[in-house]
Amino acid sequence: MKKSMVNFHIMTLFPEMVLDGLHTSILGRAAQNGHIAIEAVNIRDYTLDKHGKVDDYTYGGGAGMLMQAQPVYDAYRAIIDRIGQEKKKRVIYVSPQGRTFHQELAKELSCEEDLIFLCGHYEGIDERVLEEIVTDEISLGDYVLTGGELAAMVMVDAIARLVPGVLHNEESAETESFGNGLLEYPQYSRPEVWHEKRVPEVLLSGDHAKVDAWRLEQSLLRTKERRPDLYERYQELQPPVEKKRR
């Protein structure tokens, strides 16, 4: 059963970046209304180094510095001690080596009560602490960022909007792109004619059945053209009768 609230705990070296980005617009209002909670935990606060150092050279040589295990682990333990240890928490390491993030995974994670994100920097994080605390390695795609914060913020946004109450119109999360395995249909607003382009007549008809049929047709056409991989997957999931109709 989906939880009524999700708590996001983001372990980072740049807490201001995370909080400034996520405490605005829809997510900011959702946090104020108690649908989600977002905290940024500064890993540097947990280092034992008097100069606030959290990185060191890698064993075996190589370019760049590596985030040390101790401050990461102690920051994690501080979160766990605060929220309780009744059950194992999902700890997401934002990494280009992880499985690719997608809408179904966002739905799955939106059912969790607490999500902990770990944002790396430099050449990454000591493997030993990753083995100790991480439950999921997740990537946004096959590219490398300067740090994990931007990727974590994207994931938090995608997950949070699926939490009940975050969006004013709950239906929008179901009908938008990927909600039913297809890309979203084209949409129109006033005026009826703009730059000599008219709104499709079916949308002005008031016939909801015809509108729904047109939207599904447009979603299918758009997905087939722009994301044939999604279209093929959608077709495979349809009953035999529906496949013949498409």
| pLDDT one-digit tens code per residue, 39-64 | 999 999 999 999 999 999 999 987 78
| Domain boundaries defined on the chain | 6-160, 176-245
State the Cα–Cα distance between residues 191 and 185, nearest whole angstrom: 19
Query: What mean pLDDT is predicted for residues 210-227?
Result: 95
97 close to 134: Cβ distance less than 8 angstroms:
no
- pLDDT tens digit string along 137-189? 999 999 989 999 999 999 999 999 999 999 976 545 555 656 688 999 999 99
Indicate the CATH number for domain 6-160: 3.40.1280.10
Task: Please give the pLDDT value at position 179.
Answer: 66
- Over residues 57-73, the mean pLDDT reads 91
Reply yes or no on whether the pLDDT at 27 is more than 70.
yes
Distance CA 143, CA 13 (A): 21
Residue type, 81: D
Residues 120 and 164: their CA atoms lie apart, in Å, by 30
pTM: 0.85
**Mean pLDDT, all residues of the chain:** 91
CATH of 176-245, picked from 1.10.1270.20, 2.40.50.140, 3.40.50.620, 1.10.10.10, is: 1.10.1270.20
Rounded to an integer, what distance in angstroms lies between the CA atom of residue 219 and that of residue 237? 16
User: Do the Cβ atoms of 173 and 133 come closer than 8 Å?
Assistant: no
How confident is residue 100, by pLDDT bands cut at 50, 70 and 90? very high
pLDDT of 141 reads 93
At residue 36 the predicted structure's pLDDT band, cuts being 50, 70 and 90, is very high
pLDDT over 50 (residue 1)? no
- Work out the pLDDT band at 2, boundaries 50, 70, 90: very low
Let me know how long the chain is. 246
Q: What does the angle CA 146 – CA 77 – CA 102 come to, to the nearest 5 degrees?
A: 45
pLDDT at 245: 56
> What is the structure's pLDDT at 243?
52
What lies within 8 Å, CB to CB, of 69 at 6+ separation is 125, 126, 128, 129, 132
The answer to whether residue 98 scores a pLDDT higher than 80 is yes
Task: Please report, for residues 34, 76, 150, the alpha-carbon distance to residue 95 in angstroms, rounded to integers and kept in the order given.
Answer: 29, 17, 12
pLDDT at 86: 77
pLDDT tops 70 at residue 12: yes
Spatial CB neighbours of 12, under 8 Å, sequence gap ≥ 6: 18, 40, 41, 42, 43, 119, 148, 149, 152
- Distance (Å, whole) CA 151 – CA 166: 20
Task: Show Cβ contacts of residue 40 under 8 Å, excluding neighbours closer than 6 positions.
Answer: 10, 12, 15, 16, 18, 19
Sign of torsion, CA 186 190 193 198? positive
The tokens for 203 are 């949308």
